[in-house]
Amino acid sequence: MNRRNFVRSSVASGIGLSMLSVPNLVFGKDDRKVNLGFIGVGMRGRNHVRVAGARPDVVIKAICDIDPNSIQEAQKVLKEVGQTNVATYTQGEDDYLRMLERDDIDAVIIATPWLWHTRMALASMKAGKFTGVEVSAANTMEECWDLVDVHEATKTPLMILENVCYRRDVMAVLNMVRDGLFGELVHLECGYQHDLRNVKFNDGKSAYGKGVKFGEEGFSEARWRTEYSIHRNGDMYPTHGIGPVAHMVNINRGNRFDTITSVASKARGLHKYIVDQVGEDHPNADVAFRMGDVITSLIKTVNGETIMVQHDTNLPRPYSLGFRVQGTEGIWMDLNQSIMIEGVTSPPDEWQKDTELMEKYDHPLWKKYGEKATGAGHGGMDFFLIQAFVEAVKNNEPAPIDAYDAATWSSITPLSEQSIALGGETMQFPDFTRGRWMNSKPQFALSNA
């Protein structure tokens, strides 16, 4: 019985993955391989194909996409990284279900438009595949619950592929937090502040090209992402910010998001972008955008920390995830890459460049693999993301960022939307762990393994 069959039958028979033994570990040479399938090989998916495919412990068995061009580009990448004999699934929107029927695939990575994340992740878990899903994992509250419920019913791990959790500075700061450098945490900030106007619109032929096309006429993300700015007024992309911060305050592991209130500014940026390029008479100048340009949410945790989360993608601005980590003994902000720790940095009450402390608290994972990671894309984050995913699959471990994280972080989207619609009303977070958060322990990136 090979691993994949063992996994499937153990799922069928209700044995948790965490109970599986890992026989290879007791021998010296680790020649275990993980067989992967990919749903979605657009720009983001191909990045994962490249990073995963380059690993000696990964065999890519299949890729799936409805877009022939994406498949063609993915095949070039597969060739580059030496992955041969890869099946393709291209027969329409539901062909991923056929791919999931293969019993030579251990794990699946999903990098598709948001509309498909949850439904594909559910199908993948039901097929017994260790499932990695891109961010956000879900866009409605029902989908958040679906992720948790199907994960619990199938006992199949779900990992939300939040790469910023592996950013070098973010991991170093997590290390500082765990070492008590900030004292007791009190207030944190984060967000997704990224001028996406040339992602939401293009010329229909290339990404980041000028042009005001979107939807069926658009290219890449403009094909599907822009419609969320038309139809929904909420924080549609909270996880790059909230993921790292959630680890620092142990959300779902002794702590929990309690409430959220959100406000949205007026919506001006996208309409102006269209008019500036093609004038008031172009039909796209009549499109009404519901999404406020800057959406600010305030989360309170049951342990008393406050967290500010922002979504700011429709205006000209420098990229920033706006991290701030503040406790009883110090504060760090990524905007100015500065830190102040009482009794550690000096002079008191002044920002110091965070360089020295970043080096000192460099996470063991980065210390060990940093050189290898560099060049893998996104400043090396994606190397660690894929490594964590592959190692968890190999070792039959729970996902290091799990279904509860996926549901909790993603639920900021519907909750912020509801709060805004109700004029800033306070919304309660569901307890996706159904009480288990009280006794769960932190598990993310505790060592260099």
Segments of 16-101 assigned E as strands: 34-39, 58-64, 87-89
Distance CA 298, CA 309 (A): 6
Name residues contacting a copy of itself, limited to 268-287 (CB under 8 A). Answer: 268-269, 272
Q: Give the x/- contact pattern for a copy of itself in 220-259, rule: CB under 8 A.
A: ---------------------------------------x
CB 298 within 8 A of CB 260: yes
Q: Does 202 bind a copy of itself (CB under 8 A)?
A: no
Closer by beta carbon to a copy of itself, 140 or else 259: 259
Q: Give the number of residues in contact with a copy of itself, rule: CB under 8 A.
A: 51
Q: What is the dihedral of CA 3, 131, 383, 47, to 10 degrees?
A: 120
Could you tell me which residues come within 8 angstroms of residue 162 by beta carbon, excluding any fewer than 6 positions away? Answer: 135, 239, 240, 243, 385, 401, 405, 409
Burial class (CB in 10 A: 0-12, 13-18, 19+), 413: buried
Instruction: Please state the closest distance from residue 159 (CB atom) to a copy of itself, in A.
Output: 31
Name residues contacting a copy of itself, limited to 408-447 (CB under 8 A). Answer: 423-426
Instruction: Please state the closest distance from residue 343 (CB atom) to a copy of itself, in A.
Output: 9
Burial class (CB in 10 A: 0-12, 13-18, 19+), 107: buried
Instruction: Please state the closest distance from residue 177 (CB atom) to a copy of itself, in A.
Output: 15
Of the candidates 104, 123, 126, the residue with the CA atom closest to the CA atom of residue 112: 123
Segments of 286-370 assigned E as strands: 294-301, 306-312, 324-327, 330-333, 338-341, 352-353
Q: Does 27 bind a copy of itself (CB under 8 A)?
A: no
Closer by beta carbon to a copy of itself, 183 or else 204: 183
Q: Does 53 bind a copy of itself (CB under 8 A)?
A: no
Closer by beta carbon to a copy of itself, 75 or else 337: 337
Q: Does 149 bind a copy of itself (CB under 8 A)?
A: no
Looking only at the bridges linking them, the beta strands covering 324-327 and 185-193 are antiparallel
Name residues contacting a copy of itself, limited to 168-197 (CB under 8 A). Answer: 183-184, 186-187, 195
Closer by beta carbon to a copy of itself, 156 or else 261: 261
CB 254 within 8 A of CB 199: no
Could you tell me which residues come within 8 angstroms of residue 200 by beta carbon, excluding any fewer than 6 positions away? Answer: 214, 221, 222, 225, 226, 229, 270, 313, 314
Instruction: Please state the closest distance from residue 425 (CB atom) to a copy of itself, in A.
Output: 6
Distance CA 267, CA 289 (A): 7
Q: Give the x/- contact pattern for a copy of itself in 293-332, rule: CB under 8 A.
A: xx-x-x-x--xxxx-x---x--xxxxx------xxxxxx-
Q: Does 342 bind a copy of itself (CB under 8 A)?
A: yes
CB 390 within 8 A of CB 34: yes
Q: Does 79 bind a copy of itself (CB under 8 A)?
A: no
* Binds a copy of itself (CB under 8 A): choice among 37, 40, 241, 292: 292
The residues of the shown chain that bind a copy of itself, judged by CB under 8 A, are 183-184, 186-187, 195, 259, 261, 263-266, 268-269, 272, 292-294, 296, 298, 300, 303-306, 308, 312, 315-319, 326-331, 333, 335-336, 340-342, 348-351, 423-426
